[in-house]
Amino acid sequence: MSIDIILCVPSCEGPVRKAFELTGVTAAVATSPRLNEIAALEGDDGFAGAVVDATTIAFTDAMSLCRQLRGRERAISPIILILDRYQMDELTFREDLFDDFVIAPADATELATRLRHRLRRAGHDGGASLIEQGGLTINLETYQASIAGRTLDLTYMEYELLRFLATNPNRVFTRETLLNRVWGYEYYGGARTVDVHVRRLRAKLGEEHAHLIQTVRSVGYKFGPNSNWSLGE
């Protein structure tokens, strides 16, 4: 997973710097809102987002920068503004130019939270937060799994087992491997525990989806949304 680079105009000091540290992103600082200076900073992966401080450059320049960042071929999103309170009125009819804002003086925690949230929404969190396989949806952020729209009530180990299998579809895992990878510690249940949990998961998935977890005779289990299935015990 590469570290996201966030464009920062015109500086990255104090609470902004702190917020970037909290979020775990790197700043690329353009000291002026000029596009060619910005383009020179841009790496192959582009920018994962931008923070524009409209309190230290002219407000109209800030707005025009946002418009340009949005309009160019590699459009930048999310864009977060730092504003003085009185500038909020100016945002009317410019809602399309930014994704979020904080009021100066920026609070590092608030900015970090908004940044993280927006990066997530934009899919810049370094990995998909949704697993979707054969009617099964697992939201890795909220730990909620659903099948054909019906939310599943899972225990933690059931959730972990399902997540592991669904992340590696069509791969066969032995009970031993599953115990090591999912449980990850000495467990009194022994290898049969995997069978017990698979049985529980199938029951919760319901009859028409139980085949998502397939028994591979004398080997173990695999998650198979599409292939031919059997429910051997």
Partner 1 sequence: MQSQAQYVLRTVEERGVRFVQFWFTDVLGRHKAFHVTPAELADALDDGMTFDGSAIDGFSRVQESDVLARPDLTTFQLLPWHAEGAGVASVFCDIVQIDGTPFDGCPRQQLRRVLAGAHERGYTFYVAPEIEYFYFHSLETSGAPVPVDRGSYFDLLPDDDASQLRRRTVLTLEEMGIGVEHAQHEDAPGQHEIDLRYTDALTMADTVMTVRHVIKELARQSGLAASFMPKPLSHEQGSGMHTHLSLWTEETNAFVGDGPYGLSTVAQQFIAGLVHHAAEITAITNQWVNSYKRLVPGHEAPVNSAWARFEPSALVRVPTVKTGRLESTRLEYRAPDPAANPYLAFAVILAAGLRGIEGGYELPAEGSSAAPLPRSLAEAVALMEGSALLHETLGEHLVTWFLRNKREEWASYRSEVTPFELERYLPLL
Give the interface with partner 1 as residue ranges (CB under 8 A): 142-144, 151, 153-159, 175-176, 186, 188-193, 196, 199-201, 203-204
Between 4 and 158, CB nearer to partner 1: 158
CB of 203 to partner 1, least distance (A): 5
Question: What is the DSSP code (8-state) at residue 15?
Answer: H
| Residue appearing with tokens 């960042």 | 69
Q: 108-121 vs 14-23: helix axis angle to the nearest 10?
A: 50
Between 86 and 156, CB nearer to partner 1: 156
Q: ∠ CA 72-78-82 to the nearest 5 degrees?
A: 105
Between 44 and 233, CB nearer to partner 1: 233
d(CA 117, CA 4): 14
Residue 17: its H or E element: helix 14-23
d(CA 63, CA 24): 27
Between 54 and 152, CB nearer to partner 1: 152
Between 105 and 190, CB nearer to partner 1: 190
CB of 225 to partner 1, least distance (A): 21
CB of 220 to partner 1, least distance (A): 10
CB of 157 to partner 1, least distance (A): 5
CB of 163 to partner 1, least distance (A): 10
Question: Would you say 111 and 104 are in contact if contact means Cβ atoms under 8 Å apart?
Answer: no
